[in-house]
Amino acid sequence: MRARLALDLYEATAPLSGVRIEQTTETILAVGPEGGWAPAERDLLRTHGFRLLHLGERVLRTETACVAGVSLVAMLRGDL
């Protein structure tokens, strides 16, 4: 099983913190630029089975979103 997740502040309708991820699930987390994904990039992500999720209402720097996203995924998987 594989979880394909993409962080997106503008079109995501659910938080990453609400996702259930089993510890044995291979997880791919896509993090885009601070300005957000372009519409064509969002379409491509969706085409490849990615769920658009957010980390909250604030725009984060890319490196901050990476650390927060990976930490949250690790916690959700039970790795922390």
Extract the tokens encoding 37: 């994904």
Q: In the prediction, which pLDDT does 80 show?
A: 77
Contacts of 14 (CB under 8 A, 6+ apart): 51, 53, 54
Whole-model pTM: value is 0.91
Domain that holds residue 49: 2-77
Q: In this predicted model, what pLDDT tens digit does every residue of 57-70 receive, in sequence order?
A: 999 999 999 999 99
- CB of 39 within 8 A of CB of 15? no
Res 24 pLDDT > 90: no
Extract the tokens encoding 38: 């372009």
Name which residue leads in pLDDT, 43 or 24.
43
- CB of 26 within 8 A of CB of 61? no
Bridge partners, residue 14, by sequence: 53
CATH of the domain at 31: 3.40.1280.10
Task: Provide the domain count of the chain.
Answer: 1
